[in-house]
Structure 1
Amino acid sequence: MKLFIFSLFIFCINAKTSAPVYHLEQGVNVKIESSFTKRLNIFCYYGKPKYIIHLWQTVLFKINHPSKDYSRYDGPTEEIVEKEYMKKHYSWSLNIFSTQERNVKLNPFNDSCIGIESKEAYNVTFNIIRIDLWKLLYLIFGVLLFISAPQLSKNTIFYYVCGIIFGICTSLLILIYIASKIIPRKPFMYGVLGCGWTVVIYVLQILWDNIRMILEHYKLYVIWYMLATGFISFILCYRWGPVENERTINLIKWSLQITGLTLMFFSSHFQEAAMAQIVVLILFYNIPKSWFLVPKRYWVRKFPPKVKLLTNDEYYEEGVKETKKALEELRNFCSSPECNQWKMALKLHNVKRFASFVEGNSHLSDDEILEYETSIQGGLTDEEDENYTDED
């Protein structure tokens, strides 16, 4: 009798389910009719070759089911999906919970199969997203985070924002720690030893469902809690002040750069291309800035810019403008604490004239202005005589 039961068990494990297999292509919509008993349907996608134009491509498999009364099995081939199905139904393994994710993103370069067991009617849709915006945002944010890490590690606003977020997350960990003190340790450990880690994961799933329920029904309390913990975190950050230790700043910078590179790596299913992007970014980041000036210098040497000569009126206006600017800078310097007025007065012949200039009066006397205008008129008269002589 025992030998018969054992042979029946082995036969059930090795048996085929003969489940229908649907091959998925772009825009496919498969409708499954209801049945009296649960049955398995397998949907398979066959990966495509890796090309650089498919860098941010994603495959979306969407399950449109009226309820959550279904089971999902994943695997690279339909044979492995069938084995997972048989293993669950013809063995003594206990699966308390199953994956109920309705939108499944698949790797476009790998073969993937999904088995769905249900007795209700449902349909599945399959689409190939040419450019996944989330993947593209991962790449852009990762590059910006890596490049701006040296500035962010010293930025005061970034310090306060991170401090507030860290304080809110830490307060949640404190609540979890207090809740763990209430749970009796010995009965819980006995349950873990008796039922295995399945019970632990089941409890964690219940906690996550309760957290989602709290976020949906008690949003106002959650907002006030986050505001209170965020305000306390801001006070603590203000009390300690921004980070000034150079080694601590370096640790923050390196952590931000590692985070940016990690986002870049997960920005594409094409992992070889993602690693190439990371290598290019690191090389570009460590290239000396003087190397970037070489092409510019070569271009200027090869194609020098055209020099535009000034007319007499433009030359006069530029001289007046620059002279006025230089005099204003000199006046500001003489009025600033950096200038030692008494020491400078010892070197001047006319201290009263210097004081008048600092107070805003003209730097030229009336006699100097008259002499300058006379010399200009004399120069113009000589030029007119020369022109008249040349014409004769």
Structure 2
Amino acid sequence: MFNFIFIFNTLTLIQFSSAAYGSTVHYLEHGETFHFEPYSKGLELQTFCYKGRKKSIIYIWQSVLFQLNHPNEDYTLYEGSTPENVELEYSKNSHFWSTNIFMVKQKSFKINPFNTTCIGVISGDSYTVQISVINMDFWKLLMLGIGTFIFLSADTLSKNTFFHYVTGITFGVCASVLVLIYFISKIFPRKPFMYGVLGMGWSLVIYISRLLWENIQVVVKYYKFYVTWYILFTGLVSFILCYRWGPVENQRTINLIKWSLQCVGLCLIFNSSSYQEAATAQIVILLISYHLPQKWKLAPKTYWKKKFPPKIKLLTNEEYYQQGVVETAKALNSLRQYCSSPECNQWETVLKLSDVKRFASFMEGNSHLSDEEVLEYDSFIQNLTDDEEHNELTDEED
């Protein structure tokens, strides 16, 4: 037994020493690229650090991208705030029996631009490491916009039928993996094992979802037929269940959905920036503006209108005439529609009229004015125009 322990400790020490040999620290800045070439056949730990920058409001949506160009998946990453923390993480996980089935290897990921971050890479192959600074991260801006929209629209979305079906179908497709795990657990006779599988169900769902997200292109390319039919089948079952129970009608349940959506929106806003103080300030401003009385929100607009009233544009004679023709035609058409509708009592209306034939002609689409009225109106306009011209000539002579 003593010999086994001695051999075991010796192998562990040899493994740690061989990997730690040649361990160096490289401080990289924006645009810098480091090419690593192994000096021996053993594994070598190389630590790459980004010092970070001082926090400023102009860098609120900045991101730093760590890119590892490796020919295969035979590598391990360790993250820490200092090189010593990276070596400590490596020493904790350097034993050959310590494996994590939920670890998904990423060759490109974002780090905090305001903190010192160190990434340890252990590999026996050649690879390249690069640091890129994104001054305006589009995804963070998109996350901020989506979070703000969800928070402000939570009241409407919680009562929307379409949103009810979409979320129900989406949740059903994702949760169907958990149902699949449940039926698989029925194969095993021992109950403790089944409870363990169910307890790990959501962890497996998250792990599988992460794997699918990391390899979405490969899955869609080679398993497109199965993925399509799986989503269609589970989506159809989810739609049937949502249709059977119908949209939520209980007001307390609607309130819970609304508050949940608002919490999701605030979480998205908080995670939309690595500058947590600025993100918190955005949340505070949003909450204050959301709960302000309506008259307080309209006060700046009212004050601006009083201080700078809008200029009123007067109509010309031609514009006035055209507008009168258009509006008169609309009003006459609306009157014809009303008189033809069941809301109007035609016989009572006819009894009040002095010229029934003229009313009938108007309902058939003819003009509502007689020839004498048109002639009288034209004469009045002509006289009015002559008087205006005469007054203008008189003013000019004076």
Please give the residue correspondences for 1:225-374 in structure 2 after superposition, counting only pairs within 5 Å: 225-238=230-243, 241-373=246-378
Please give the residue correspondences for 1:366-385 in structure 2 after superposition, counting only pairs within 5 Å: 366-373=371-378
Residue 182 of structure 1 aligns to a residue whose secondary structure is coil
Q: Does structure 1 residue 114 correspond to structure 2 residue 119?
A: yes
Cα deviation digits, residues 210-258 of structure 1 (max 9, x gap): 9968666322121022123323444454555544554444443333322
CA distance, structure 2, for counterparts of residue 37 and residue 135 of structure 1: 40
CA deviation after TM superposition for structure 1 residue 310, in Å = 4.2
Q: Contact (CA 8 Å) 2:62, 2:137: kept in 1 or not?
A: yes
Instruction: Look up the equivalent residue of 2:286 and give its one-letter code.
Output: L
- Give structure 1 stretches of 5+ with no counterpart: none
CA distance, structure 2, for counterparts of residue 23 and residue 385 of structure 1: 91
Question: Which of residues 132, 137, 141 is equivalent to 1:136?
Answer: 141
CA deviation after TM superposition for structure 1 residue 165, in Å = 2.0
Change (3 A) 1:84 1:301: closer
Q: TM-score, normalised by structure 1?
A: 0.78
Q: Does structure 1 residue 43 correspond to structure 2 residue 48?
A: yes
CA distance, structure 2, for counterparts of residue 25 and residue 298 of structure 1: 50
Q: Contact (CA 8 Å) 1:71, 1:99: kept in 2 or not?
A: no
The residue aligned with 1:32 is 36
CA deviation after TM superposition for structure 1 residue 267, in Å = 0.7
Report the more deviating stretch, 362-371 or 102-111.
Answer: 362-371
Change (3 A) 1:216 1:182: farther
Instruction: Look up the equivalent residue of 2:30 and give its one-letter code.
Output: Q
Cα deviation digits, residues 314-371 of structure 1 (max 9, x gap): 4444333333322222222222233333444454444454444333333334454455
Report the more deviating stretch, 127-136 or 252-261.
Answer: 252-261
Question: Which of residues 13, 23, 26 is equivalent to 1:19?
Answer: 23
Q: Does structure 1 residue 166 correspond to structure 2 residue 171?
A: yes
Q: Contact (CA 8 Å) 1:63, 1:124: kept in 2 or not?
A: yes
Instruction: Look up the equivalent residue of 1:23 and give its one-letter code.
Output: Y
The residue aligned with 1:94 is 98
Change (3 A) 1:357 1:124: same
The residue aligned with 2:80 is 75
Change (3 A) 1:365 1:219: same
CA distance, structure 1, for counterparts of residue 289 and residue 365 of structure 2: 52
Report the more deviating stretch, 363-372 or 43-52.
Answer: 363-372
Superposition CA RMSD, Å: 4.3
Question: Which of residues 60, 73, 79 is equivalent to 2:65?
Answer: 60
Instruction: Look up the equivalent residue of 1:338 and give its one-letter code.
Output: E
Q: Does structure 1 residue 183 correspond to structure 2 residue 180?
A: no
- Give structure 2 stretches of 5+ with no counterpart: none
Residue 48 of structure 2 aligns to a residue whose secondary structure is strand
- Percentage of matched positions with identical amino acids: 54
Instruction: Look up the equivalent residue of 2:183 and give its one-letter code.
Output: I
CA distance, structure 2, for counterparts of residue 318 and residue 183 of structure 1: 82
CA distance, structure 2, for counterparts of residue 349 and residue 256 of structure 1: 65
Report the more deviating stretch, 366-375 or 51-60.
Answer: 366-375
Report the more deviating stretch, 175-184 or 317-326.
Answer: 317-326
Change (3 A) 1:370 1:153: same
Q: Contact (CA 8 Å) 1:75, 1:81: kept in 2 or not?
A: yes
